[in-house]
Amino acid sequence: MKILLITDQHFGVRNDNQHFIQHYRKFYGEIVLPFIKASGIKEIINLGDTFDKRRSINFMSLDEAKDMWFDPLQELGCNMTCLIGNHDIYYKNTLRVNAPTELLGEYDYINVIDTPTTRTYDGTDILMLPWICDNNYDRTLRSITESTAPVCMGHLELNGFEAHPGHVMEKGMDPYIFSKFTKVFTGHYHSKSNKNNIYYLGNPYQIYWNDYKSRRGFHVFDTDTLKTTFYRNPFDIFHKLYYNDGVNLPGKGELKGAFVKLIVEDKGDYQKFDYAVKRLQDMSLGDLKIVEDLSVELENGSSVMETEDTMTLLDTYIDEIDLKVNKANIKSVMRSLYMEASNL
């Protein structure tokens, strides 16, 4: 049996930004749903964080999510197993109030997993683990110990894995706890990675600038081989253009809704530069940032430094100040606060 795996969809991301909604719609409408139909896939496992905001839902974002994803799956006759992620829960210490249960109850084909559960697909047992919190921690450990399933799927926070490009998590559960399983597939961290038997699948699309050029998409799991095949999302939302007394601009429509950084290496003729900016502004971009060069005089001449993303700047600042505490822990807390603030 072939099962489509998808995780961390984050419907309503970036404060319900319309450009991201259209980006999502293009991905599902032009890539995922046609693939499901052509492949004859009937089983889907969602590994958590279906929705972005923990404490509220924008009705427009909910309606869009239903229209672009949940309604078409129902029409295709699919079944979905939906794990609860940390973004799906209202309270941090319990999964009792969660978005999929409250918002997707109209869909009979969706089975929400809010407690450790073993499900069987074509003779293959899979232990399903929703987000682990104070309320279900002991039960989850007991389920792991008692499980005879060869495969575990969950929304797990494990240490030693890259959460975001360039940032390895030092907190979280010990991966050794899951060493008994042949394969572990999980959501939560948006970067796609693998160590030993554990596979972080990564989310389907780029959400923040630090995702620039990151490979995102979905997977198909084979119950016979216990292997997955990765299908890349071909649509990038973040683009960098370099202006050096001129710039080669993509064709009309290619950057519609995209987030663009125009990095100025040599502005040259100001009138020519202004015209290039005007052309970009007329392309219906999601956002345009003009990054002026920061020229730094070095011993061997002049070098150009591009301005960095917010989280990179935070890391650099922490590295440079005098602290008598663990800087890695401070970075982890700052990143968590930044991500939470970005979701407000």
Q: What is the pLDDT of residue 342?
A: 57
Structure tokens at 52: 């972005």
* 223 and 244 part of one domain: no
* 52 and 198 part of one domain: yes
Q: Which residues pair with 168 in a beta bridge?
A: 162
Alpha carbon separation from 152 to 60, 77, 178, 214, 283 (Å, rounded): 34, 25, 8, 26, 45
* 184 and 57 part of one domain: yes
Q: What is the pLDDT of residue 334?
A: 80
Q: Considering its fold, how many domains does the chain have in total?
A: 2
Q: What is the pLDDT of residue 328?
A: 76
What are the residue ranges in the chain where pLDDT is below 50?
Answer: 294-308
Residue 250's domain comprises 238-342
Q: What is the pLDDT of residue 310?
A: 65
pTM over 0.75: yes
The residue type at 124: T
Secondary structure letter of residue 51 according to DSSP: B
* 120 and 56 part of one domain: yes
Secondary structure letter of residue 217 according to DSSP: E
In a 10 Å sphere around its CB, with 0-12 CB exposed, 13-18 middle and 19+ buried, how is residue 255 labelled?
buried
- In percent, how much of the chain has pLDDT > 90? 79
Q: What is the pLDDT of residue 17?
A: 95
Mean residue pLDDT across the chain: 90
* 247 and 177 part of one domain: no
CATH classification of the domain holding 203: 3.60.21.10
Q: What is the pLDDT of residue 139?
A: 97
* 303 and 159 part of one domain: no
* 290 and 164 part of one domain: no
Structure tokens at 89: 């829960």
Q: What is the pLDDT of residue 313?
A: 67
Q: What is the pLDDT of residue 305?
A: 38
Token pair 């072939």 is found at: 2
* 182 and 281 part of one domain: no
* 186 and 83 part of one domain: yes
What is the per-residue pLDDT across 71-86, written as a single tens digit (0 to 9) for each? 999 999 999 999 999 9
Structure tokens at 257: 């809704």
* Last-in-domain residue among 182, 206, 232: 232
Q: What is the pLDDT of residue 304?
A: 37
* 246 and 128 part of one domain: no
Rg (CA), the chain: 22
* Last-in-domain residue among 215, 232, 249: 232
What is the per-residue pLDDT across 308-327, written as a single tens digit (0 to 9) for each? 456 666 766 676 676 667 77
Question: What is the SS3 assignment for 189?
Answer: coil
Sequence-ordered list of residues with C-beta below 8 angstroms from that of 84, at least 6 positions apart, any chain: 48, 95, 98, 100, 112, 113, 114, 130, 131, 155
* 209 and 268 part of one domain: no
* 112 and 225 part of one domain: yes
* Last-in-domain residue among 190, 216, 232: 232
Question: What is the SS3 assignment for 132?
Answer: coil
Structure tokens at 283: 């392309």
